[in-house]
Amino acid sequence: MAIIDPGHAARQLVYERIFRSATFCAAILVLVILGGVAVSLVRGAWPALQMFGPGFVIHEVWNPVTGKFGALGPMYGTIVTSAIAMLLAVPTGFGIALFLTELCPSWLKRPIGIAIELLAAVPSIIFGIWGLFVLAPVLQRHTQPWLIEHVGSLPFVGALFRGPPFGIGILTAGIVLAIMVLPFIAATMRDVFETVPAMLKESGYGLGATTWEVIWHVVVPHSRVGMVGGVMLGLGRALGETMAVTFVIGNAHRISASLLAPGSTISSAIANEFTEADGELYTSSLIALGLLLFLITFTVIALAQWMLRRLERQGRGGA
């Protein structure tokens, strides 16, 4: 007990102060960077926003020759491709995670787990090239003609699957995105499911519940918050993904009813056009697109937070 030494205590106090202000600075830095991004985006986008006003987000025209720009096409593409990706990846990721934690024989657990982590490590350009050279021809020759023939003739849903089979387009971009976000969703959900206390599950089994009942009444309710987190992580990546989408979306600033038609996303438009954009208005319109993506992502995250808050409150209320 010789450590009670006034000099030592004073030194510790100084260290503590230094450490505290260092961590505080690190935390503030995030806010400063975020604020800086927002300010420079608004400043860069200002000429375009001033020129087009709110019309910028409701017009579909994107014509560098006449200098008329509207963001509706890329916004539509961004949201629809991400929606398709979520539609495909969330159920699959959920299934993978459940299988791995609850149903999988233990010798298969590691290989599948590693495969998912490897999938997350593949660079997006590889997905783009694979999508263009491998997936697109298959879709063009087999999947899309079938969709056009059998689904395209149906009322309502049919409108989504009409037109020539190009192989690339909104649907292809959605599929590639789904594959890209799948590992994030699956891995997060798996980790969340693994945190469910074994005692809870075993109590369920002890009460005579089937595996199905344990999954739906114990595991899933216990992991709701984490599951939403995983989905949002995936959605965030899908919204901002650039390279892979640019390769397979068809890059047309048009809105078509059909999912087989080419479209564009905000990030693909910026990637395609920024290097050769000359003139203040053109560059500024592209920056304004970036600002919109910033706002869309911000809204999505805010919504997610709000949902999490509500789920937590419900969880407490139910308990």
Partner 1 sequence: MRLNSLRACCLLAAATVFAAAAGASDISGAGATFPYPVYAKWADAYKTLTGVGLNYQSIGSGGGIKQIKAKTVTFGASDAPLKEEELTAAGLVQFPMIIGGVVPVVNIKGVAAGQMTLDGATIAAIYLGEITSWNDSRIRKLNPKLNLPNAAIAPVYRADGSGTNFLFTDYLSKSSAEFKDKVGADKSVQWPAGIGAKGNEGVANMTTQTDGAIGYVEYAYAKQNKMTSVLLVNHDGKPVAPGAENFQAAAANADWAHSPAYDVVLTNQPGAASWPITGASFILVYRQPSDPDAVLGALKFFAWAYKDGGRMAADLDYVPVPPAVVALVKKTWVSSITANGKPVWSEK
Q: In angstroms, what is the minimal distance from the CB of 314 to partner 1?
A: 46
Stretch that binds partner 1, among 74-82, 184-192, 216-224, 249-257 (CB under 8 A): 249-257
How many angstroms from the chain centroid is the CA of residue 40?
A: 24
Interface with partner 1, residue 251, by CB under 8 A: yes
225, amino acid identity: V
Interface with partner 1, residue 285, by CB under 8 A: no
Interface with partner 1, residue 137, by CB under 8 A: yes
Q: In angstroms, what is the minimal distance from the CB of 237 to partner 1?
A: 20
Interface with partner 1, residue 256, by CB under 8 A: no
For partner 1, which residue of 91, 164, 197, 315 counts as binding (CB under 8 A)? 164
Ramachandran sector of residue 69 (left: φ over 0; alpha: ψ -120 to 50; beta: rest): beta
Give the x/- contact pattern for partner 1 in 7-46, rule: CB under 8 A. Answer: ----------------------------------------
CB contact at 8 A, 82 and 267: no
The percent of the chain in helix, strand and coil, each rounded to the nearest 5, is: 80, 0, 20
If you compute the radius of gyration of the chain from its CA atoms, what whole number of angstroms results? 25
Stretch that binds partner 1, among 56-64, 80-88, 102-110, 229-237 (CB under 8 A): 56-64
Give the x/- contact pattern for partner 1 in 188-227, rule: CB under 8 A. Answer: ----------------------------------------
CB contact at 8 A, 265 and 173: yes
Other CB atoms within 10 Å distance of the CB of residue 22: 10
Q: In angstroms, what is the minimal distance from the CB of 31 to partner 1?
A: 30
DSSP string, 211-262: HHHHIIIIIHHHHHHHHHHHHHHHHHHHHH--HHHHHHS-------S-TTS-
Report the distance separating Cα 299 and Cα 232, nearest Å.
11
Q: Using the minimum distance from each CB to partner 1, give the nearer residue, 99 or 166.
A: 166
Q: Using the minimum distance from each CB to partner 1, give the nearer residue, 73 or 230.
A: 73
Q: Using the minimum distance from each CB to partner 1, give the nearer residue, 114 or 125.
A: 125
Q: Using the minimum distance from each CB to partner 1, give the nearer residue, 223 or 268.
A: 268
Provide φ and ψ at 68, rounded to 5°.
Answer: -110, 125
The SS3 assignment for 63 reads strand
For partner 1, which residue of 41, 44, 45, 62 counts as binding (CB under 8 A)? 62
Contacting residues toward partner 1, per CB under 8 A: 61-66, 132-133, 136-137, 140, 164, 166-169, 246-247, 250-253, 262, 264, 271-278, 283
